[in-house]
Amino acid sequence: MEYVKTRTIMTKSNQGIKWFGIDYHMNLYKGCSFGCIYCDSRSDCYHIPDFDIVKTKVDALKILEQELSSKSYRGVVSFGTLSDPYNFEEENLKLTRNALKLIEKYGFGVSIDTKSDLILRDIDLLKKIAEKNSVIIKMSICTSDDEMAKKLEPNVISSTKRFEVIKKIRDANLYCGVLMTPVLPFLTDTEENIRSIIKKSKVVGAKFIYTKMGVNLKTNQKQYYYNKLDELFPGLSEDYESVYRNRYFCTSLQYRHLFELFLKLCHDNGILTEMDEIIKDYKKKIPMNEQISLF
């Protein structure tokens, strides 16, 4: 494990309402070992060289406790915006688990993005956090087809297993849903895939499905993605080039039809899709006197 120096672990979010109402960002790890070919975190703007090699930060938990204890507002802390908090190294290092203990100790809420079943290890802590503050868990699933998922996300558990994880989380009475991101043009932007994800989400009790019906392709990540397409789906990168050229966000060519279908099916099945509705549904109202009492 390579350790990198840092001055801060937790930063204030400037896009809370835009992204699940989070108040603080936190990434205990840099890089990820899951190998997803579409991962936006490979982009140059995030400054994570050798992205496939997972690194962590010197004295991460010590710095985190100092920061948590100094905050006047016990808001929701986001795990996993740039690196999955339950990557393979977490099983031994337990940085995420120990960070959750600190989150619970100081009365903060938590927002977790993951593709891993290792999150089930921490259900006990998540339930304790939920007694005091807000908890939202987002399981990332871009295809319901396990064979396709294996190509797109080679080191991740199958989509079938991810749906099983959602059910276990919901059985524990924790708030959980699906990040159907990205939706990859020419690969996962099909009626069959959209219908299947919604159907399986309903069965396991997912509270929401959130999607943007496209994929980000920024500098560096774009070339990595195209190289992988050439390897796995010969000729497909040429289709991307001819259609999207230098676009940063590549929307499915079937966007209007698929998004209308998505909204209708989710509405019919009682699954939330709008960001403001999801935030309102999961966030607890914490009176100011309770915030003060946590000092």
CB contact at 8 A, 72 and 107: no
CATH of domain 2-285: 3.20.20.70
Q: What is the pTM of this model?
A: 0.93
- Write down the domain spans for the chain: 2-285
The pLDDT of residue 289: 44
Distance CA 166, CA 78 (A): 18
Q: What string of pLDDT tens digits covers the 295 residues of the chain? A: 788 888 889 988 875 457 899 999 998 998 899 999 999 888 887 778 888 889 998 999 999 999 999 998 999 999 988 889 999 999 999 999 999 999 999 999 999 999 999 999 999 999 999 999 999 999 999 999 999 999 999 999 999 999 999 999 999 999 999 999 999 999 999 999 999 999 999 999 999 999 999 999 988 899 999 999 999 999 999 999 999 998 989 999 999 999 999 999 999 999 999 999 999 999 976 554 455 444 4
Other beta carbons less than 10 A from residue 15's beta carbon:
10
Spell out the long-range contacts of 266-272 with Cβ–Cβ below 8 A and sequence spacing 24 or more. 266/198, 266/209, 269/198, 269/201, 269/202, 270/202, 271/177, 271/198, 271/201, 271/202, 271/206, 271/207, 271/208, 271/209, 272/177, 272/207, 272/208, 272/209
H/E stretch holding 56: strand 55-57
Distance CA 161, CA 133 (A): 28
CB contact at 8 A, 152 and 37: yes
Beta-bridge partner residues of 132: none
Beta-bridge partner residues of 177: 138
Greatest Cα pair distance, the chain, in angstroms, is 60
The pLDDT of residue 50: 85
Which residues lie below 8 Å from residue 70, measured CB to CB, with a gap of 6+? Answer: none
The pLDDT of residue 256: 95
CB contact at 8 A, 261 and 196: no
What type of residue is 147? E
The pLDDT of residue 16: 47
Q: Lay out the sheet containing 29-30: strands in order across.
A: 2-4, 55-57, 29-30
Could you give phi then psi for residue 179, rounded to 5 degrees? -95, 105
